[in-house]
Chain A
């Protein structure tokens, strides 16, 4: 049970921000990342990653224009870490973006790392670990950027932050070991154990009648998308993933992992009842539904705490959530024209020769480079515009500054995938229905695209369907593009955009504490993806995934088969030899009428051996003739 009141601090900050006009603040956080224990669903206590001994994690809050400094100390003791600020452009500060081995080295246990960046975008964001699939163990929290100049600032009275999430009782390293192993050849993602609202269950949000509340909702989960609705209330959507859109009414929304949505709910004018809030996990993603799984989590809008808290009503049939693709951006930004670069990526799941199931963009499954991609871009000189230096398995694409870039993603997999681009939001120019096939074969052209497409930074791709995204490459940096299902990040569904690397070389200076973290982690900071700083075009020794499964017979198989055939033939030859050679000196098969021993005769028999025999045996004819041939 948890009560949520709008924090006074945020409204104070807003007021201060308003008064201070253009003066931007510096907001500082000291985060000591360490282990705590938590039991948010009341079902299992488990080790969880907390900050400053606390879980759920503290909220990062600032105003547009502020500078944020986060000093991280890794006190986990047994794991490295990093922090990514999801949705922030990091314009001019690509090295603060967070993903390990892309823009920084992992922060080793005991090491410090400082993130220092300026915010120039309002909205609802979140921060989370971007190292070895760690964040579902608890290292994720909200990041809210207030906007004194919001076009909707007069449309609500109070702000509330709401996170929805899936939750596992087991720790990620163990789950990952199973997920990527030969024992899981179908690549079935581990099913979460429960769902959480604000990292708890049975949340009660007190609301006052007639007030208008802005809910900033973030899906901080690892895997499950969530359907969210408030019984008896409509939602007026004003922002998704930090981008303002024209107001749109919805009764139910769908948030994939990592997506955000801000909407206004107007409280009713009477306090006679309380209303359930339901967040329901998208079970179409789950490989199986265990009997003890409750995929819903419930909360209440509390008008009167003395009134009962009713159970939510069962929803019959399919959910019908709001289609985010129909949103219209507030600034009416029109679709970017014909792209300067169009990149087509097919999402494929397949097995490699270690027996495990991996995720591919086209024919490449992501493998981290030996040198973080950004450091390669900074040290490669002129060769930084040659995609070769970044290695094959980072799946790099070099973008030029100012290009309009189009990404077409075709889903050759029967599962939903939410795709996220670092450093940008993109125009979601097209999304096909389920089972529509690839974009190239579907007959859809740019004539079908939205004129004023909605924008966000995490967009869902439907099973066996396709999406088309467009963005402007104005932000020099190394930006990852990946599915935000954490399991698929680890199994390789990731590509790297190296945007304007020569501009990066001119503007970016890596601070000493970043270099110290690299030294502590033993990760080089110069060189190509193979760590080669002498010849950037020589990629031998780069990290590679397991090999492809051989088609048909390999040398080993042919040798084994031939050998076995020879054994069989040899064996058969020996048997035949034994059978025929015995004819000469064995007792012949006699007609039954012959050679019967009579009781009077001395007992008899067998084998007359050739050659010297120590034991002589005699064969005696019975009355009636017949005999043994010698």
Chain B
């Protein structure tokens, strides 16, 4: 897989964003089909609402493309040269943002079922809420409530899309421009396909294996990105210190700060021209030929954090409360919490209902 036509990190994130978007749409459409296309048929309303869903999705998607295209265009034309002096700072910042986003969002792939549930709940609440009238306050809010079928997919697609764009923009700093289109397209297609499969056939072990594997890969990429971000910041400081001579030093002595170096080999640099293979290792695993204390320690710290995060989340799932905190008491009335609390991070939705029912399955 040549890195200069296919950037794996871009593929992974676009795939993930596409997948979540397709899930939302599939839930909405299925719901509409269920309620309005079944025994209590109301064709006109059904068609109208389906149109709303597609309109919302389509507009959100289109807006994403526009904004994304504009942002990337700006980066490449106006920003390209101006940032040369502190180019690595920007690369570092984007790598960091990308890493954080993946870390926060990646876990959802492992709980697709929860994702579906979350959307079902949101949907139900949105449709259930009475349309409020009166006053200039909350015009937008009321509009959104009335046109929930439009607003939900629109906002979600927009949000997911911008997330993906920020990441793509950050990654494209280091990858050549030619490595962007293909993974974006493939990611969209793959997300759409998988989403459709989910729509039709539900989950299975094979699907879970696939999801687990792709999430592992995603986190490896995020770990690499985090380490790289730290590396970029340190390298920028070094380039500023050495000044104009830095460019002519290649991979040899003087191209890096030897007092901070943990290892350095004069070959195998992901940055160098013929660095295709090593660039791939850099993208997936964060490999660098010139590692610093910062880059090595940050890589390990990242994994420690992720491991703890997953262990804690599992604890929460099993025990129902965060570790070291008291379990919450039963049956707390929760007026006005109709939408429920949710943590975007892990897709867990917890709801307390007034007069809760207990049902064992």
Contacts and interface: CB of A to CB of B under 8 A. Distances in A.
Interface of A: 182-186, 188, 288, 350-351, 353-355, 357, 549, 552-554, 556-558, 560-561, 563-564, 567-568, 570-572, 574-583, 585-599, 601-611, 613-620, 622-624, 627-628, 630
A599 B124 contact: yes
A592 B361 contact: no
Given A614-B320, A617-B350, A622-B34, A186 B248 contact: yes
Nearest to B110: A579
Contact of A355 (B114, B258, B321, B358): B258
Given A578-B310, A583-B208, A603-B121, A592 B30 contact: yes
A618 B358 contact: yes
B304 to A, nearest CB: 7
Contacts of B311: 574
A431 to B, nearest CB: 29
Residue with the greatest number of chain B CB neighbours at <10 A, chosen from A601, A603, A611, A622:
A603
Given A605-B349, A618-B358, A574 B30 contact: no
28 contacts: A182-B254, A182-B258, A185-B245, A186-B249, A355-B254, A357-B254, A552-B263, A556-B263, A560-B263, A568-B299, A568-B303, A572-B220, A578-B110, A579-B110, A581-B314, A582-B110, A586-B111, A586-B113, A592-B199, A605-B349, A607-B114, A609-B317, A610-B318, A613-B319, A614-B327, A615-B352, A616-B358, A624-B38
A366 B208 CA distance: 66
Interface stretch (B4-12, B79-87, B209-217): B209-217
Nearest to B307: A574
Interface in B335-361: 338, 340, 348-353, 356-359, 361
Residue with the greatest number of chain B CB neighbours at <10 A, chosen from A355, A592, A605:
A592
Contacts of B285: 568
Interface in B304-331: 304, 306-307, 310-311, 313-314, 317-321, 327-330
B300 A567 contact: yes
Given A557-B263, A571-B303, A623 B34 contact: yes
Given A575-B212, A597-B123, A607-B317, A589 B112 contact: yes
Contact of A611 (B121, B124, B318, B357): B318
B128 A570 contact: no
A591 B197 CA distance: 8
B26 interface: yes
B291 interface: yes
Main secondary structure of the interface of B (DSSP, over half): helix
B111 A591 contact: no
Given A355-B254, A603-B338, A575 B310 contact: yes
B283 interface: no
Given A564-B299, A576-B212, A605-B351, A185 B307 contact: no
B120 A596 contact: yes
Contacts of B123: 597
Nearest to B349: A606
Contacts of B207: 589
A609 B319 CA distance: 7
Interface in B107-145: 107, 110-114, 116-117, 120-121, 123-125, 127-128
A592 B26 contact: yes
A587 B258 contact: no
A627 B117 CA distance: 11
A153 B344 CA distance: 99
Residue with the greatest number of chain B CB neighbours at <10 A, chosen from A186, A549, A597:
A597
B259 interface: yes
A598 B356 contact: no
Contacts of B241: 183
Contacts of A182: 254, 257-259
B238 to A, nearest CB: 9
Given A351-B253, A549-B253, A592 B216 contact: no
Contact of B249 (A185, A611, A624): A185
A603 B124 contact: yes
Given A355-B254, A599-B35, A609 B318 contact: yes
Contact of B321 (A357, A586, A588, A614): A614
A609 B117 contact: no
Contacts of A594: 30, 202
B94 interface: no
A601 B304 CA distance: 43
Given A557-B263, A596-B120, 15 more contacts: A184-B245, A186-B245, A186-B249, A355-B258, A557-B262, A564-B300, A582-B110, A583-B208, A592-B200, A598-B124, A601-B124, A604-B124, A604-B351, A614-B329, A618-B357
B55 interface: no
Given A575-B216, A589-B113, A563 B242 contact: no
Interface string B227-260: 0000000000000011111001100011101110
A518 to B, nearest CB: 35
A561 B116 CA distance: 40
Given A553-B263, A579-B211, A617-B351, A571 B320 contact: no
A94 B196 CA distance: 94
B212 A351 contact: no
Given A552-B265, A572-B219, A616-B358, A588 B202 contact: yes
Contacts of B128: 599, 603
Residue with the greatest number of chain B CB neighbours at <10 A, chosen from A571, A593, A595:
A571
A503 to B, nearest CB: 44
Contacts of B31: 596-597
Contact of A590 (B116, B299, B306): B116
B97 interface: no
B203 interface: yes
B296 interface: yes
B165 interface: no
A571 B219 contact: yes
Contacts of A623: 34
Nearest to B255: A185
